[in-house]
Each structure stands twice: as structure tokens, then as C-alpha cells.
Chain A
Amino acid sequence: MARDLEAYLRSDVKSTPFCPGCGHGILMNAILRAIDELKLPMDKMLFVSGIGCAAWIPSPNFNADTLHTLHGRALAFATGAKMFNPELKVVVISGDGDLTSIGGNHLIHAARRDMDMTVICANNMIYGMTGGQVASTTPLGASTATSVEGNIYRPFDLCKLVQAAGASYVARYSVTQVVSLKEAIKKAMSTKGFTFVEVLSPCPTQFGRRNQYDSPTDMLKTLMESCIPVEEVERLSGEALKDKIVTGEFIHG
């Protein structure tokens, strides 16, 4: 982490727990840069997370109030805290399995209520911490510890899901698109209501090694090439869109 962001980190935390090549460190950087540029006071910020690798982005690293909750329930805890003290700037940071599978019901209801908080969903398309099992976000055909011959189910489109549920701001970027990602987080944090940023973050340890990626850089490169801006989608045919990940802002003020 860059020196200029040290003030946002707890002094007694010396390193992050992430594997080499994990995208969560880049995301952590983008979140803190967004906060720094928006000049948000850390004393009034509450970071809520569930269980999983991404839940360790804020807890214990961020030098603010942090609430590390139960698997899937971050949004329910966050709702109680925000409802009781609306002055808290609430940011939920957690993984895809946590927020959209075990916590899927809370996600759509928090979006439906347009609960005033920002949700950053680090999507690595797999259950990383528990050893690489198939997730509700695993691409069709991908190999995991519980879908060795390839995932037979379609993944959720998380942005469409929260958009349909009523979110006020919805965007998707990859950790390879750092500037756009940081700007999207800033926009999410400055928009009132339920704001959602899906962040594609590679998991070389659990996803990469099962899906023929030679190295973390290989995985990052493929991710970079897979992302296409939402503005380009209309110009491309169905075949050209195959295996592509659409990035950009889907709902914005």
C-alpha cells in the first residue's frame, strides 16, 4: 500500500492476508484512494463485511469503525446500524459468495429499500477462503473443487440483479481498470441511496490453478482482455460478446 494512504490503515496492521496475485489488494487501494479524494472523515465511516477473503479488506485494516459479521449477513447488520445512526457513512465490502449467495436475500432487499449505503462486491467467481468451491458467480463451464468437470449452472449477473431490485447506482469494473474503478467507487459513495459496485478480482490460488492460467499475470491479462465497455455492447454481435464481461456504469444519477 502506498505511503500516502497510511493514515487510513491501522498502525498495528503490518500486512494484508491476501495470496500473491489476488486482486483484493488493488481493490483495497482503490477504495482508500476514493475516500481520500472525497475527503470523507474516517471517524464517521463504518465498514461492514461478512465472511470470506474480501471481508478482510476492511477488517481489521481500515482505521475506522469496522464490523466483521456473519457469513452472508453484512447488509442486515449494516441496515440496523445505518437506520439507528443515519450520520454514519456505511460501506459494505464483501465477496460474491457472501453477498449474493448466502446473503442474496439481504442484497435484493437492501436494494429494494434503497438503503443509503455503498456496497462493494469483490467478485472472484469462486469460494476462495474455503478452498475453491463453485459459486453463484462461477462462469458456465469453469472448473472448481465442486464442479471439477465444469460448472453446469449459469452465473448471476449481479449488476442486473441489484438494478432490477431498485439500486440507485450500479457499476462493474475489474481491478485491471483501476482509475475507472476508483471513480466508480467515488461516485457510488457520493450518490444517495443504495449504490453497488461489482469488482472483478482474480483469484489465482483457487480459480486460476484449476482453469489453465499459467500465472497470476496471465489471469490479469485475460481479465483485461475480457472486459468490454458497456458503450460498445450495442455495436458487437452475439458471437463477439461471448465470454466478454461488460464493464461500466449501468445506473447512474
Chain B
Amino acid sequence: MSVQEIESTLPAGSYYFSGNEAATEGAIAAGCRYYGGYPITPSSEIMERIAVRLKEVGGVFIQMEDEIASICSVIGAVWAGAKAMTATAGPGFSLMQEAIGYAAFTETPLVIVDVQRAGPGTGQATRVGSGDHMQAKWGSHGDYQVITLSPWSVQEMYDQAIEAFNLAEQYRVPVFVMSEEAVGHLRERMDVKPRLKIVNRLKKKGAPPFGTPEDDGVPPMPAFGEGERLLVTGSTHNDVGIRKTDDGKAHEKLVVRINNKILKHRESIIQNEAHSLDDAEVVVVSYGFTARSALFAVQALRKDGKRVGLLRLKTIWPFAEELVRDLGRKAKRILVPEMNRGQIAGEIQKYAGCDVVSYCQTDGEIIHPHTIVEEVRSLL
């Protein structure tokens, strides 16, 4: 990869954006120049804004016939040299799963912003939910890794959209910004810095595009039309791209590497934020919009002299297992409030080794700060 410092596309300063607008601007700033999409609530504002913005910056926009076509066109554009993305919500994210597996297996860097709504099924299209995290991790068949981020503010919709592109380029992997309706439609102040760092995919003429000597490496990535005569296939392939569907060793090697290149670099990928953790007996582990309520609750309880802390996960996958293990050794109890039926609580139970309490709310509403205060009080 190569890191480049560039001037921001938006003039530096403060903006009053919705989360969906901020994610769009983050993508443009990071160098996104292709978007293929399909309308779906509550993500459509991203597509509407990027259709205009891509025209302004010389990029390409197309509204495809469905979400499958959207993600497939994104993969095609990336191999033609683009930084590309799409945005969607639950039902569309479900439709994209097969192609997500294809992207992971062909090591195609791309970004999806999933503005989560209340599922399953068509569910509550205009209401908030956070039920797509396990699908993000396990949605396509076979063993692969992706990276997912979880923004809690409009500012982070902007910042994480940039981060998503940078991670995608660095690791040649699909990266998802797992936002929620509440942050997608929230309007608040955000700041744009004059300069930002962006990552561009590594190019190395003649080098194999699908293999490295290391079992956790990221190969360079050429584009169509560069004379490399590329062989891209979603079937098992060797390091130059020749299909090897009967070769067990080739399959093992490739599957291990596309997993290791993420899992072995967990430490540099994972980001989180600690609030009052040092002496905390009860720790709230939270992410996304819910973490706003969790922080309010922790601060209120601290004023009351309660030994309560917050760990906010900014990265969901790969999972912060070492961190949670460490937390479990210090805290008596962990509370995990979620707008789903305990998807991440289960993950924390796997590693924490202490009492983990899951608070689930799936009524299409955000979790109120006072609800978390009450839940924590019952655990003290």
C-alpha cells in the first residue's frame, strides 16, 4: 500500500450534516470514484448525494437494477481501477452476501455502508435496528474475514467512511460501515480537517496478484487495461489466478491467507475508546448509536459515585477478543445493551470470563440512557 496525504475535498471547517451525508463526504474524500446502488430506506440519501458529488469530482455513478447488480458492478469497477462503494440496508445487504464472499475470495477492496434498520424480513424499514452484525461476519458461505466499523456520530460517519476505504485498500478486503438508522438520519455538527491521509492499493508490475510468500500477506493489485492480462475468478485459484478447483493445497493456502491477513493484524486494525475503565466494577460494552446512551449513563452514575465504565467498540470485526479478555479479568460484570437479540453480547461472553449481562431491545427505538442507568444499577 502507499499512504498519501491529500487536501480535503470539502473546505476545512464545521458542517451541519446528517450521518448519511457525512458518510458520502467521507467516501468522496477518501477517493471513492464509483458508486453502484439501489434505493433502500434508510440509506437512500447516500445514493442521492453521491450521484451529485461524483459528477462534481469526475467519478461514475449508476443506479443498478437491484442490490446484487449494485455490489457486482462495484467489484467490476474496482478491478477496472476504482475505489468504489455502495450503501444499503438489511434486505439489500442480504442480497449482496454472495458477492461479498466473491469479493473476499478475490481480495477486492470495497466499502459498503449498511444503514441498519429493524429486521428481519422487511421489518420496520424506517425504524432503527442493529441486527446485521452477525450477517456482516458470517453472511456468505465459506470461511473469510471482513472488517466492520461502528459509528456513533455524524463525525464518525465521515471519519469511518475514510477509514473504511483505507483499510479496504491496505488489506484488499471488503469493509463495512455498520451504521444504524438513528445515526444515518441524525443531524449534528461535524468538522472537516484541511488535510487527510488516504491509502492506495499496492501496485507491482508482473507480481502475482493472488499470493504472497507469507501466510498473512496482502498481494499487490493491478487493474484491467494495464497490460497485466489478469485472471480474476471466484473459484479457487493459484497466485496468478489460474483455477485450481481440484487442488486441496491451493484451496487451503488461499483460505488460510485471506483469514490470516486480517486476524493476524487485529492489533493494528481494531479501534476502541475507553471511558472510566480503571476502577470500574461494572463495565458497559457498547457500540454504534447505543454507545451515546451508554456514555450518558456511565457519566450520570459516576456523578453518583458508582464505579462504572464504558468500553466503546469502534471496530466490531475482527473482534477485540484480547481486550475483552483483559476487561473480564478486572471487571465484576459486563453489561451489553444492544438493538438486537444479543449478537455482540454472545461474542463478549466467549472471551470475558466474567458475568456478562445482555440487554436487548428490538422495538425499533433507540435505547434510552435512563434504561441503561437502571440496568447498571441493578447490577451494582
Contact = CB atoms under 8 A, between A and B. Distances in A.
Interface of A: 10, 12, 42-44, 46, 48, 59-60, 63-70, 73, 76-85, 87-88, 105-106, 109
A44 B225 contact: yes
B65 interface: yes
B207 interface: no
Contacts of A73: 68-69, 72, 99
Contact of A80 (B72, B225, B243): B72
Contacts of B102: 69-70
Interface string B28-70: 0000011010000000000000000000000010101110111
B225 A65 contact: yes
Contact of A79 (B73, B82, B225, B241): B73
Interface of B: 33-34, 36, 60, 62, 64-66, 68-70, 72-82, 84, 98-99, 102, 223-225, 227-235, 241-243
A60 B231 contact: yes
15 contacts: A42-B229, A59-B243, A65-B225, A68-B233, A68-B235, A69-B75, A70-B99, A73-B68, A76-B70, A76-B72, A77-B75, A84-B76, A85-B224, A85-B225, A106-B69
B103 to A, nearest CB: 10
Contacts of A68: 231-235, 243
A87 B225 contact: yes
A80 B80 CA distance: 8
A130 to B, nearest CB: 14
A81 B79 contact: yes
B72 A66 contact: no
Nearest 5 pairs between A and B by C-beta?
Answer: A80-B76, A80-B73, A76-B72, A80-B77, A77-B76
> Which has the most chain A C-beta neighbours within 10 Å: B33, B68, B98, B225?
B225
Contacts of B75: 69, 77, 80
A146 B73 CA distance: 33
B73 A109 contact: no
Contact of A77 (B62, B66, B72): B72
A67 B232 contact: yes
Contacts of A84: 33-34, 60, 76-77, 80-82, 84
Contacts of A10: 229
A12 B242 CA distance: 10
B233 A80 contact: no
Nearest to A71: B98
B235 A64 contact: no
Contacts of A66: 230-233
A59 B73 contact: no
A138 B200 CA distance: 48
Contacts of A60: 231, 233, 241-243
Contacts of B78: 80
A202 B218 CA distance: 43
> Which has the most chain B C-beta neighbours within 10 Å: A42, A70, A81?
A81
Contacts of B234: 68-70
The binding surface of chain A is classed by DSSP as mixed
A65 B230 contact: yes
B224 A76 contact: no
A67 B69 CA distance: 15
Contacts of B241: 60
Given A66-B232, A70-B98, A106-B65, A77 B73 contact: yes
Contacts of A48: 76
Contacts of B77: 80-81, 83-84
Contacts of A70: 72, 98-99, 102, 234
B65 A88 contact: no
A60 B243 CA distance: 8
B357 to A, nearest CB: 42
B87 to A, nearest CB: 15
A142 to B, nearest CB: 29
Contacts of A85: 80-81, 223-225
B64 to A, nearest CB: 7
Contacts of B34: 80, 83-84
A182 B233 CA distance: 27
> Which has the most chain A C-beta neighbours within 10 Å: B102, B224, B231?
B224
Nearest to A49: B233
A111 B224 CA distance: 23
A109 B65 contact: yes
Contacts of B33: 84
Contacts of B76: 48, 67, 76-82, 84
A197 B34 CA distance: 29
A48 B231 CA distance: 10
B227 A69 contact: no
Contacts of A46: 80, 224-225
Contacts of B98: 70
B231 to A, nearest CB: 5
A98 B308 CA distance: 57
> Which has the most chain A C-beta neighbours within 10 Å: B70, B73, B228?
B73
Contacts of B81: 84-85
B230 to A, nearest CB: 5
Nearest to B228: A65
